[in-house]
């Protein structure tokens, strides 16, 4: 089975080379799948492995997006550099949130509320700061210059999003096979027992929060220069955080491939449902269908889709004597 994953990557890389079979709409759809898979993997580090349910990851995405956009438009710094500056600022905010939450022992819903509060603070600040567009939003002029993270061919965004998703998956796979990942899983299962055994739970949770927020901030640059407009209500809003979380939960939080599978399930479903109900005149009905699917997943696949599929394949695999 080791050859399966490289073959899947090669197939995904080759699909845009056949525009007659893989049209522009498919390129856009898969770009969104890869991008949300990347964001789901970033959240998976702190939410899936460490078990710290952050519902404010949109704040890190927004900081990365605004930072890369402002550095590019106002200072002429290429977003290929600005994305890492935005990631560093997002990591700084993640460190602050993690320090406050973990130092004072906030867990469960209390930590969720803390992350949501910081995301709302970022939204309010962005909405009332005229230098970044305020509530109207910040807009980027399209030039088509690849040095400014702008491409004439939409397939370039496809490959950048694919690279981001693969890079985040590599980071998560590396964590899962190191002591760092073992400690995070142990903290998720029983933090008190870990502390009794001498594990520095504060340190490892804070490291997970820093890495997760950094990756999410890097993704903010892609978000900014793929959409070319930033509205505080959308970039820092809770719905975007929920979109990120759902990819990991539906696919299987705490697993390496769960967020990717969740993105392949939810992203096409959300897009197709939106188009279908919009054409039928049922505006907003796609959210109802989306919610029903999530309820079904929680009821029948509480561990996520990937663990269930993995068990199914293991049962059907031939047993070696």
Using one digit for the tens of pLDDT, what is the confidence trace for 24-54? 999 999 999 999 999 999 999 999 999 999 9
pTM of the predicted model, to two decimals?
A: 0.93
Going by pLDDT thresholds of 50, 70 and 90, the confidence category of residue 260 is very high
pLDDT of residue 318: 60
Going by C-alpha positions, the residue among 233, 257, 237 that lies closest to residue 247 is 257
C-alpha angle 94/236/64, rounded to 5°?
55
pLDDT mean across residues, the chain = 90
Are the C-beta atoms of 304 and 255 separated by less than 8 Å?
Answer: yes
Tell me what pLDDT residue 286 has.
64
With a cut of 70, say whether residue 284 has pLDDT above it: no
Quote the DSSP letter at residue 147.
G
pLDDT at position 308 is: 83
> Is the predicted pLDDT of residue 68 greater than 90, yes or no?
yes
pLDDT, position 319: 58
- Return the percentage of the chain with pLDDT > 70, whole number: 94
Does 104 have pLDDT greater than 60?
Answer: yes
- Answer whether residue 216 shows pLDDT above 80: yes
- At 51 the three-state DSSP class reads coil
pLDDT at 287: 66
Percent of the chain whose pLDDT exceeds 90: 72
CB 226 within 8 A of CB 68: no
Which regions of 80-210 does DSSP assign to beta strands (E)? 138-139
pLDDT band at 293, cuts 50/70/90?
confident
Phi, psi values for residue 139, rounded to 5°: -115, 145
Mean pLDDT along residues 274-294: 71
Count CB atoms within 10 A of the CB of residue 166.
Answer: 18
If pLDDT is split at 50, 70 and 90, which confidence band does 298 have?
confident
Task: Give the confidence band of 317 by pLDDT, cuts at 50, 70, 90.
Answer: low
């Amino acid at each position: 089975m080791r050859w399966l994953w490289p073959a899947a990557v090669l197939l995904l890389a080759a699909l845009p080379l056949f525009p007659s079979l893989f049209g522009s709409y498919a390129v856009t759809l898969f770009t969104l799948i890869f991008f949300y898979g990347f964001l789901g993997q970033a959240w998976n580090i702190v939410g899936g492995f460490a078990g710290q349910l952050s519902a404010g990851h949109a704040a890190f995405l927004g900081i990365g997006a605004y930072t890369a956009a402002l550095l590019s438009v106002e200072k002429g710094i290429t977003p290929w550099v600005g994305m890492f500056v935005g990631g560093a600022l997002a990591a700084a905010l993640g460190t602050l949130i993690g320090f406050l939450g973990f130092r004072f022992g906030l867990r469960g819903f209390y930590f969720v509320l803390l992350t949501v509060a910081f995301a709302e603070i970022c939204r309010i600040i962005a909405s009332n700061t005229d230098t970044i567009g305020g509530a109207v939003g910040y807009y980027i002029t399209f030039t088509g210059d690849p040095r400014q993270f702008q491409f004439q061919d939409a397939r370039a965004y496809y490959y950048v999003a694919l690279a981001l998703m693969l890079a985040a998956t590599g980071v998560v796979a590396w964590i899962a096979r190191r002591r760092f990942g073992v400690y995070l899983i142990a903290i998720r299962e029983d933090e008190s027992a870990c502390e009794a055994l001498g594990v520095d739970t504060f340190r490892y949770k804070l490291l997970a929060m820093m890495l997760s927020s950094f990756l999410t901030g890097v993704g903010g640059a892609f978000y900014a220069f793929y959409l070319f407009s930033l509205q505080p209500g959308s970039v820092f809003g809770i719905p975007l955080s929920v979109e990120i979380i759902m990819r990991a939960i539906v696919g299987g939080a705490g697993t390496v491939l769960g967020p990717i599978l969740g993105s392949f399930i939810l992203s096409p479903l959300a897009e197709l449902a939106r188009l279908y109900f919009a054409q039928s005149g049922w505006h907003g009905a796609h959210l109802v269908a989306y919610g029903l699917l999530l309820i079904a997943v929680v009821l029948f696949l509480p561990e996520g889709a990937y663990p269930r599929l993995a068990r199914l394949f293991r049962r059907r695999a031939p047993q070696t004597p």
